[in-house]
A and B are shown apart, each in its own frame.
Chain A
Amino acid sequence: MNLTFKSFGVCCALIVVASTCLAKPAMKPTGPIDVTYKHFEYSPKGLHLFGGVQMTSAQYFVNAGDILVEQATGKTKSMKRATATPLAGQQVSITYKDVEAMKSMKTLADRAVITPEPERPGGARIDLTGNVLVEMNAQGALDGPSKTTLESATILIGDGPDYPQIKGERGHMTLTPQF
């Protein structure tokens, strides 16, 4: 059974509520971030990773063609911002997994920008643009998977039960309830 919501505001609210309900209450750090690459160049301007880059933190996994990491000016984080672009014919993929809460979320987009937000514990935001697709294996009270297409979306990650949060623009959601 598929349910289609025409009102995207309802979709966003539902996603946020569902994410909040499923989130594990324990504190989880976002760093350190492990990166594998085929080629890299590092200078005081930033870190540029080329060709099939994978970026993994305690909360998310990014698979992209190239990632450009801008240097932080502060002391709290080494990464100011990371921009991920895909290889030709592919999309940037970001996977969020919380095994203990039995949930996972995968997002695909043409471009992703990851920005640490140290003002929130473990905080970071991932801005997705271009043919965004969000897939969740469980959708809160509906207890079923969902697929959402969006023009753009922002994922907020951080420590505590309120994260991750998703905010989207102009989308279409398909839910598959299991009850």
Chain B
Amino acid sequence: MITLSAAHRWRCGALAASVLFCFTSGSSLAASGVGVTGQGSQVLQPDPKRPGKYLWKLWAREFVIESPSKGVSGTMKGISAVLFQNGAPSATMAAAQAKGNNVQNIIVATGGVVVKSLVEPGTILRADSVTWYQQKNQVVAVGHVYYKNGKSGMTIIPSGALTANTSLKTVSSAGGGHIKLP
């Protein structure tokens, strides 16, 4: 059973106004002084420009939601997500941990991050950290970055950061590196 104080219920109301939360397992939900913690959640971010569409969907094993009265930001562990672009699912992302907010629509995923294109099957991006900028339609990967194009088989190991669009079809890097063409 979920029990929240009046203040927390208000915060969750503000949260629900901007982010639609569907708790798949509400039994461990608990309130803290600055937000809400819980386990087993699905977070859906509606696309304000496209009714019925989403910007992202995210599933987390554990989560902490902070400052819900000023937009919503949160830290989530054991996440998997679907990233959308123009209302269409463009990529999936899995990571040990992620932070995000619904003001800038940025998700920063860390810990063995894997992004898989849903537009070009077999195209994947792995890195220590991946930041997704929804409004820019851009992902920026840093740390042990590895990219493989599913269509051509081309692999890229950049020395520095790698920038791609959400579907991973367009990629660039300025820090030098190594490419293998099969």
CB neighbours (8 Å) of A44 from chain B are: 169-170
Chain A contacts for B176, CB-based, 8 A: 36-39
Comparing A14-22, A26-34, A159-167, the segment that makes contact with chain B is A26-34
In the complex, A2 has a CB within 8 A of chain B: no
Q: Check: A155 CB closer than 8 A to any chain B CB.
A: no
B172 touching A35, Cβ below 8 Å: no
CB-CB under 8 A for A32 and B180, given A72-B152, A78-B153, A78-B154: yes
Contact of B26 with A by CB under 8 A: no
Chain B, residue nearest A33 (CB): B181
The 0/1 profile, CB within 8 Å of B marked 1, for residues 58-81 of chain A is 000000000001011000001100
- Residue from B149, B154, B177, B182 within 8 A of A37 (CB atoms): B177
Once A78-B153, A78-B154 are accepted as A-B contacts, the answer to whether A40 and B172 lie under 8 Å apart by CB is yes
Interface residues of A, CB < 8 Å — how many?
21
B7 at the interface (CB under 8 A from A): no
Q: Which residue of B lies closest to A34 (CB)?
A: B180
- The answer on a CB contact under 8 Å between A79 and B172 is no
Instruction: Name the B residues within 8 Å of A38 (CB-CB).
Output: 174, 176
CA distance A130 to B180 in the complex (A): 28
Which chain B residues lie closer than 8 Å to A36 at the CB level?
176-179
A47 contacts B by Cβ under 8 Å = yes
Interface flags for B142-182 (1: CB within 8 Å of A; 0: not) read 00000001001110100000000000011111101111111
8 nearest A-B residue pairs (beta carbon) = A78-B152, A35-B179, A33-B181, A42-B171, A41-B172, A43-B170, A39-B174, A32-B182
